[in-house]
Structure 1
Amino acid sequence: MSGSRKEFDVKQILKIRWRWFGHQASSPNSAVDSQQGEFWNRGQTGANGGRKFLDPCSLQLPLASIGYRRSSQLDFQNSPSWPMASTSEVPAFEFTTEDCGGAHWLDRPEVDDGTSEEENESDSSSCRTSNSSQTLSSCHTMEPCSSDEFFQALNHAEQTFKKMENYLRHKQLCDVILVAGDRRIPAHRLVLSSVSDYFAAMFTNDVREARQEEIKMEDVEPNSLWSLIQYAYTGRLELKEDNIECLLSTACLLQLSQVVEACCKFLMKQLHPSNCLGIRSFADAQGCTDLHKVAHNYTMFLADMENNALFRDDIECQKLIMEAMKYHLLPERRPMLQSPRTKPRKSTVGTLFAVGGMDSTKGATSIEKYDLRTNMWTPVANMNGRRLQFGVAVLDDKLYVVGGRDGLKTLNTVECYNPKTKTWSVMPPMSTHRHGLGVAVLEGPMYAVGGHDGWSYLNTVERWDPQARQWNFVATMSTPRSTVGVAVLSGKLYAVGGRDGSSCLKSVECFDPHTNKWTLCAQMSKRRGGVGVTTWNGLLYAIGGHDAPASNLTSRLSDCVERYDPKTDMWTAVASMSISRDAVGVCLLGDKLYAVGGYDGQTYLNTVEAYDPQTNEWTQVAPLCLGRAGACVVTVKL
Structure 2
Amino acid sequence: MNRFQISISAHRIVKIKPGVVFNIIEIITMKTCQHFCATDTLKRKGCCCYKSVIAGILFNWTRLSKVTSSNKMIEIKAPPGLVTQRLDNLYTCMKEKKFTDVTIVVKNKRIFAHMVVLAGCSKFFAENKDNLSATFSNFEIPVIEAILEYCYTGITRIEDKYLEKFKDLAKKLQISLITVDQMKYLEYCHLLDVLESIDIIVENFKTVHTQSCFLNFPAESLAEVLKSEKLNVSTEDILTALKTWVDSDAKNRRNQLADLLSLVKLPSISNELIITKLLDFCNTYPESNDFFKRVILSIASGCQSPIYKEENTNGDKIAIIGDSNSSTANIIEVYDGKHNSWTISKDFKFLKSDFASVLANDWILIIGGYAISEKVCYIDLKTGQKHTLRSLYQGRYNFQAVAIHGESSTDVYAIGGYGNDILRSVERWNSGSKNWERVAPMLKAAYFHSASVINNTIYVAGGRSRQNGNETSTNELQVYWPETNSWSYRAPMIQRRERHSSVVIKGKMYVGGGFIWDTKTLLDGVESYDPNTNMWTSYCTLPNPAEGISLCYFRKKLLCIGGNNQSSFNNQTNVWEYDEISEKWNALKSLNKSRVRSNAIVIPNDSII
Q: Please report the TM-score for the alignment, with normalisation by the length of structure 1.
A: 0.46
The structure whose Rg is larger is 1
Between the two structures, name the one with larger relative contact order (CA 8 Å, sep ≥ 6). 2
